[in-house]
Structure 1
């Protein structure tokens, strides 16, 4: 069954409107206007409304970089937001980067809820969770806050340092930080005979490891999936695969999981989106996830 899922209870985040290849969002008390390649339709709100609401706007110099233009001099470079559900609470430090990101992907909050509820349902004490392509660590911290022994893997040292800042903000400790190419790390864990109760994958369309390793989603995702499922504890486990690639559909993700793990049970697939308060929906990737149930 294909599902459409959106976060519904994050008080510190709001998608206000999107269209004309842009999106208007509130993170805490700050409202940002920045590019969004998926928003190919017209904006619902008027340009005057956007201008009135936005504290800061990202202006691209190229496809990969640009600068933030402040409409209010008091806008900070860094600020914090909170996320909580019925089981856990974390704090995240956000920041204005030269490549339009701020340090969190809000649509992933749906997956965070799945992570915390899965861990809380397990009988295994301190279940082991592996977060690959882990970015600034929101999913890692959700897992840790839910009681998991958590390993966080990303190829960029500065991003892992950012994740460690978020751990401190959230008053958590002992996440295992690993700066390495994700595929290399998985293969090494296989040789060591390691097992995990939860595995989270949010791979980019393109990327590079710390030693120049190249990652291209369509070229490497099948190999990654075939290796990763061998790390799953056979008794209690969950797995989340999330992709943000214009060429991928939820059917592709379903096929990847089923061919890599034919014995899969409780598989859910679908599309993540953000619901704007203006009424429009913004699609932001497809997912596949499954878990054991007691």
Structure 2
């Protein structure tokens, strides 16, 4: 089954409009304008509307870096937002980085709901969840808040520290933080005979490990998937694979999962998008997920 999924109940986030390679978003009380390479169409709202609503705009020096321009010196560089669903709630610290990111990918809220609802269905007490390429930890904290014994793996120490800040903001504790290359960590866990009830992967198109290890999605994702499915508990499990790459489709993700895990059940693949209040849809990656529940 191929699905199109978008977050529907996040009060602290809103995609207002997108187009002309930009997106206009509200995080809490702040409205940001920043680049978006997927938005190849025209804006729905006028340039005047964008300018009127924008508090902070990202001005790029290159495709990957730039600076934030505020319309008032009193606007913060850091602020907090809340996410809640029927099962859990977490708090996230956002910040203006030189790479146009703010510390969260809002479309992932769809996967957060899947994580918390899946954990609530487990019969296993304190199920084990592994979050790979875990960034600032929203998915890790959702899993922890839902009752999971959670391991968070990312190769960049600064974002793991950021995730720890989010844990404190969310009044949670005891997430296991690991700063390591994800593929190396998975191979070591296999040797140790470890098993997990839930595994979350949100790999970048390109990346580097803490010791210079190189990650390129199309070169390494098959090896990663073949290894990671061996860590799944046979009786109760879920897995989410999310990719943000212009060259990947949901059919590629489906093929990766089925060839790596032929016994897969309840597989769902599709595309994540954000619904703008202006009416346009912004696609933001493809996913595949499965579990042992009906």
Give TM-score, length-normalised by structure 2: 1.00
Q: Distance in 1 between matches of 2:166 and 2:73?
A: 26
Residues in 1 aligned to 2:279 and 2:72: alpha-carbon distance in whole angstroms: 27
Q: Deviations over 1:7-27 (max 9, x none)?
A: 000000000000000000000
CA distance in 1, matches of 2:288, 2:56: 34
Q: Does 1:2 align with 2:2?
A: yes
Please give the alpha-carbon distance, in whole angstroms, between the structure 1 residues aligned to 2:240 and 2:24.
28
State the shift of 1:143 in Å. 0.1
Using the TM superposition, give the Cα deviation of residue 73 of structure 1 relative to its aligned residue in structure 2, in angstroms.
Answer: 1.8
Query: Counterpart in 2 of 1:65?
Result: 65
Structure 1 residue 129: Cα displacement? 0.1
CA distance in 2, matches of 1:152, 1:128: 11
Corresponding position of 1:182: 182
Deviation at 1:184, TM superposition (A): 0.0
Give CA deviations for 1:64-90 in whole Å, capped at 9, x if unaligned. 100000012221000000000000000
What is the CA–CA distance in structure 2 between the aligned matches of 1:27 and 1:183, rounded to whole Å?
33
Q: What number of residue pairs does the alignment pair up? A: 294
- Where do 5+ consecutive residues of structure 2 fail to align? none
- Whole-angstrom distance in 2 between the partners of 1:224 and 1:34: 32
Distance in 2 between residues matched to 1:56 and 1:146, nearest whole Å: 34
Tell me the alpha carbon deviations over residues 235-291 of structure 1, each in whole angstroms, 9 at most, x when there is no partner.
Answer: 000000000000000000000000000000000000000000000000000000000
1:95 partnered with 2:88:
no
CA–CA separation in structure 1 for the residues paired with 2:52 and 2:116? 38
Supply the distance in 1 between the matched residues of 2:263 and 2:9 (Cα, whole angstroms). Answer: 34
Distance in structure 1 (CA, Å) of the matches to 2:246 and 2:258: 21
Over 3 Å off, 4+ runs: none
The question of 1:259 aligning with 2:256 is answered no
Residues of 2 paired with 1:47 and 1:64: CA distance?
24
